Every structure is written in C-alpha cells, then in structure tokens.
Amino acid sequence: MVDTGTGSPIVVVPGIQGRWEWMHPAIVTLSRRHRVLTYSLSRTKSDGNGNGFDHFVEQLDQILDTAELEQATICGVSYGGLIALRYAARHANRVSSLILVSTPGPSWKPNYQVERYLQLPRLLSPAFVARGPSRLWHEIVRAHDTFPACIAFSLKHTFRVVTAPCSPTQMAERIRLLKGINFATDCLKVTAPTLVITGEPRLDRMVPVSSTKEFLHVIPHAVSATLGRTGHIGLISRPEDFAEIVEPFVAAHDF
C-alpha cells in the first residue's frame, strides 16, 4: 500500500493490469493537496460461487482499515472503477464521494478479441501488448505539444510498465470475474456523490466513452467531466488537468 500526502483522503484503485505504479504521475500530482492511498490488486480467482470479484471489494475495505480511515473518496480507474462502484454500493458509509475514470459501463461485455485472449492469455499476450502503442499513440500525441515531449512520456511510461509488469493470466482472470455480476443493480445502490470522468470520444480506443457515460443514467445524480486532449490514459498523460477536475469535486463533498 502507498500512503502519501496530506489532506482529504483519496483512495485510487488501479485498472485491469492491477499495478498502482502505472498511475504514478496522477498519484504524485494528487498528493500535493490530498492524502492519497493506492495499492496493487491482489491475485485472485473464482471461489466456485461466483464471488471472486468481491475479493477486490474486501481488499479495498482492508486498505481503509489499515489507513485508519472511516471514510474517503474512492477513485477507480478503468477496471478499478467497477471495484470502486461495487464498494460504494456495499459500504456507502465509508465513501464520501465516488469517482469513475474511463470505466466500462454496466452493460459492457468482452468483444471477440477479448474472448480470444481469455482462452489463451499467455500465448496471445505478446500480440495484445504489441497493439498497445497503436491504440495509445494518437492520444499521447494529442496530449503533448511537441514530438520530443511525446517520446519522453512514452519512455517514462514504458519504464513504469517494464519495472512493474502485469500478469496476463491475472488480467484474463479479472475479466472472467465480471461475468454474472449485475453492476446496474450496484449503480442503483450508490448514494455517494459521483463524478464520471472520460477522455474525448475519438481518443479513447480502450473503453468507449459512450460505455462509461452509461453510469450517468443509472447512478442517481451522477455528474460528468471530460478530460480534454486525452483518451484512456489522461490521468497520467495530463495529470495536472486530471487533478483540476478531481480536486474541486472532492472539496465540495468533504465533510
């Protein structure tokens, strides 16, 4: 667990790769005004009763316990947003506000490519990784003003990925754990003020912005914000802009 900074607490839940290190620029920026906690997702698999996903919810609860926090803003990034959502539905008293960042919507289903990956994660992971730069490069270029800045960002992010590697089998298992869970029902149980953050529709080629915006129709009183000049990785390609969206929302609901 990482616990840095002072101020209103924000717990940041990582995405499908499960590594907090990939979000490092956002963690550093938010910690200038907030106490920021983050962590890597635990290894898990289905328990045979379809409850494997809830191990992530229990892990998040333990993070708050370890930090001795009665309540915090819970910010989930991409897949981590589904964990944050379910936590807010089940532990409303511990969530001062909820932030969902480029999170797959409640009706999201794996496409054909993802289904193939689930069958042979180790074999297909090189191809999956190889497609990553092509999916992200266009938004990296849009997020930075110069070509040298694009290269510098890419090298730094590559270093984070290489030094904090993800597990293809664990990523596949995390997707499998979503099957059978009714996130639409969880949405109706959320009572915390909710902010839904997306990038620009044409720039996010990982999770369609339209999918993330489904939450605006099913979570009571949810509001949205768009992180300009970004797609799926705006919190690390433009961390200052990300913080400018997050901080006033957190302050407005910090009691």
Those residues of the chain that have pLDDT short of 70 are 45-51, 111-134, 255
How far is it, in rounded angstroms, from Cα 53 to Cα 82? 10
181 CB contacts (<8 Å, ≥6 apart)?
A: 50, 53, 86
CATH of the domain at 89: 3.40.50.1820
- Total domains in the fold of the chain: 1
pLDDT in tens, 134-169: 678 889 999 999 999 999 999 999 999 999 998 888
Whole-model pTM over 0.75: yes
Which value, to the nearest 10 degrees, does the dihedral of the CA atoms of residues 230, 210, 17, 58 take? 120
Report yes or no: 254 and 40 within 8 Å, Cβ to Cβ.
no
Instruction: Render pLDDT for 160-176 as a digit per residue (tens, 0 to 9).
Output: 999 999 888 888 889 88
For residue 165, give its domain range: 2-252
First to last CA, the chain: 25
Q: Report the distance separating Cα 143 and Cα 237, nearest Å.
A: 6
Q: Under a CB-based contact definition with an 8 Å cutoff, are residues 32 and 5 in contact?
A: yes
Contact indicator for 144, 150 with CB cutoff of 8 Å? yes
The residues near 124 (Cβ < 8 Å, ≥ 6 apart) are 116, 117, 168
